[in-house]
């Protein structure tokens, strides 16, 4: 049976996995608090994707949105998750206040988060708010404090890295949307929608991985 490779637009507040560990706890215990009981009904990938035996490549936090790649090919999943292949991932990030050039340059050069210096990144301030569906629920912001959007392209994926990077230079992240993984883009997908990769997209992905492996 041929492998399946999917692109999914993960909405906000959806776990990046097919099962929720808290749901298992809820099913085995009657002593949960109200908050724990509510958490046990969190949305997962299973609520949107019915294709069997596909698994997410990497992850997006529950409070992040955007492009997620899933595959039934374990070898491909491993290679895409291996930092040595350095495939780029691009994010649109809404931050509190308007970053100055000094902060943007710090992000480009790398910042220290939890004792680790991030790799150099491509960073630019967007001229206008990107065309994205409204988030549900909307972000919380202060009327007296402006916000801005920046585009960040990374070749690594530490836990909550983008949020920690912007916080480290003094501009907390309010909304985070992954818009691209290598040559794969979010366009033509709405939140909660998915599609199969085309043959051309798969071939280019394999070719890109092979090129980066030989570096």
Report whether 66 contacts 91 (CB < 8 A).
Answer: yes
Cα torsion through 151, 152, 157, 161, rounded to 10: -90
Q: Six-digit token pair at 148?
A: 């801005």
78-115 core/surface letters (b: 16 or more CB in 10 A; e: else): ebbeeeebebebbbbbbbbeebeeebbebbeeebebee
Instruction: Respond yes or no: is residue 61 known to be catalytic.
Output: yes
**CA triple 107-113-116, angle to 5 deg:** 100
Q: Which is it for the CA torsion 135, 138, 140, 144, positive or negative?
A: positive
Q: Which of 61, 63, 73, 136 is catalytic?
A: 61
In sequence order, which residues have a C-beta less than 8 Å from that of residue 155 and are 6 or more positions away? 86, 87, 88, 89, 119, 121
Tokens 């596909």, residue? Answer: 54
Instruction: Count the alpha carbons within 13 Å of 53 in the hemisphere toward its beta carbon.
Output: 7
Report whether 178 contacts 67 (CB < 8 A).
Answer: yes
Active-site residue set: 61
């Amino acid at each position: 049976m041929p492998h399946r490779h999917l692109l999914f637009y993960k909405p906000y507040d959806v776990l990046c996995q097919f099962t929720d560990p808290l749901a298992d706890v809820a099913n085995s215990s009657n002593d949960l608090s109200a908050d724990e009981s509510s958490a046990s009904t969190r949305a997962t990938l299973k609520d949107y994707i019915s294709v069997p035996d596909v698994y997410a490549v990497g992850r997006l936090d529950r409070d992040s949105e955007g492009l997620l790649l899933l595959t039934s090919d374990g070898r491909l999943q491993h290679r895409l998750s291996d930092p040595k292949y350095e495939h780029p991932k691009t994010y649109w990030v809404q931050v509190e206040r308007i970053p100055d050039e000094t902060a943007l340059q710090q992000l480009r050069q790398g910042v220290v988060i939890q004792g680790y210096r991030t790799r150099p990144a491509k960073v630019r301030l967007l001229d206008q708010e990107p065309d994205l569906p409204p988030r549900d629920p909307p972000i919380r912001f202060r009327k007296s404090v402006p916000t801005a959007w920046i585009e960040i392209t990374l070749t690594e994926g530490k836990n909550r890295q983008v949020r920690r990077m912007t916080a480290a230079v003094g501009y907390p992240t309010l909304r985070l949307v992954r818009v691209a993984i290598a040559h794969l883009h979010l366009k033509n997908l709405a939140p909660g929608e998915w599609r199969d990769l085309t043959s051309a997209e798969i071939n280019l992905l394999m070719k890109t991985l092979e090129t980066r492996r030989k570096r």
